[in-house]
Amino acid sequence: DVKVTQSSRYLVKRTGEKVFLECVQDMDHENMFWYRQDPGLGLRLIYFSYDVKMKEKGDIPEGYSVSREKKERFSLILESASTNQTSMYLCASSLDPGLVDETQYFGPGTRLLVL
Amino acid sequence: GQQVMQIPQYQHVQEGEDFTTYCNSSTTLSNIQWYKQRPGGHPVFLIQLVKSGEVKKQKRLTFQFGEAKKNSSLHITATQTTDVGTYFCAGLLDSNYQLIWGAGTKLIIKP
């Protein structure tokens, strides 16, 4: 089974802090994604990566950056956390770009509270 | 930009009633996927539809993909308390293989 893990289930940070969210997948997937999920808004894509050292902006990249130094690890960085970044953050991975099957496998999520 | 509209946002049903959620895309999709997220959990893949007009069943769940590959529906017959959660559709765009998510439909079972 595909396993996607995230470094923390719950995180509390202060405004202005730099925040790192880590995601690791163990199935040699090419694609990795970061979403945030807020009530009534569904899943919104922040950034995604199709390969090591490669990143693409999603729908809401402002205030975030990402890093993919190794294939299995995709990090989301909040350079200076703000209260409107309080949310549930979900990481996902999928097998290969360009395939018709792009089933995404999700991690358990990190619930971030910015005070 | 490209969107997948999903309705309704919420649906309250009595246990035993049916439930349906609909997704509509402004552009043609290569496939459409359905996910379920239980309260407090993360999205879990349910099924993928690829062919025009495709219908797939999983026990009480029926999934349809429209002839034009722009819309899809999920129908649950005789809901049970275990069906509670939010159901998301996600469409893979024909043009760039980007997965576009619907906003989800939250199924609430009335006591």
* CA separation, residue A78 to residues A7, A68, A112 (Å): 15, 15, 11
pLDDT digits (tens, 9 = 90+) for A32-78: 999 999 887 888 999 999 889 889 898 899 999 999 999 999 999 99
CA B58 – CA B48 distance, rounded (Å): 12
CATH topology of domain B4-110: Immunoglobulin-like (2.60.40)
User: In this predicted structure, what is the pLDDT of residue B68?
Assistant: 96
Residue A23 pLDDT > 90 = yes
Instruction: State whether residue A33 is helix, strand or coil.
Output: strand
What are the extents of the domains in chain B? 4-110
Residue A87 near chain B (CB below 8 Å) = no
Which residue has better confidence, A3 or A12? A12
Question: Residue B43 and residue A106: Cβ atoms within 8 Å?
Answer: yes
Which two structure tokens, joined as six digits, stand for B34?
Answer: 């359905």
Q: How many residues does chain B have?
A: 111
User: In this predicted structure, what is the pLDDT of residue A2?
Assistant: 64
Do A74 and A21 touch, CB atoms closer than 8 A? no
Q: Mark the ranges of chain B whose per-residue pLDDT is less than 50.
A: none
Residue A56 near chain B (CB below 8 Å) = no
Question: CA angle, A72 as apex, A15 and B29 as ends, to 5°?
Answer: 90
CA B64 – CA B73 distance, rounded (Å): 5
pLDDT digits (tens, 9 = 90+) for A78-113: 999 999 999 999 999 988 655 656 788 999 999 999
Distance in Å, alpha carbon of B103 to nearest chain A alpha carbon = 4
Question: Residue B101 and residue A101: Cβ atoms within 8 Å?
Answer: no
User: In this predicted structure, what is the pLDDT of residue B77?
Assistant: 97
Residue B40 near chain A (CB below 8 Å) = no
* CA separation, residue A2 to residues A26, A68, B103 (Å): 7, 19, 25
Kindly give, in sequence order, each residue whose CB lies less than 8 Å from that of residue A36, ignoring residues fewer than 6 positions away. A43, A44, A46, A60, A85, A87, A88, A89, A90
Domains of chain A: 4-97 (2.60.40.10)
User: In this predicted structure, what is the pLDDT of residue A97?
Assistant: 59
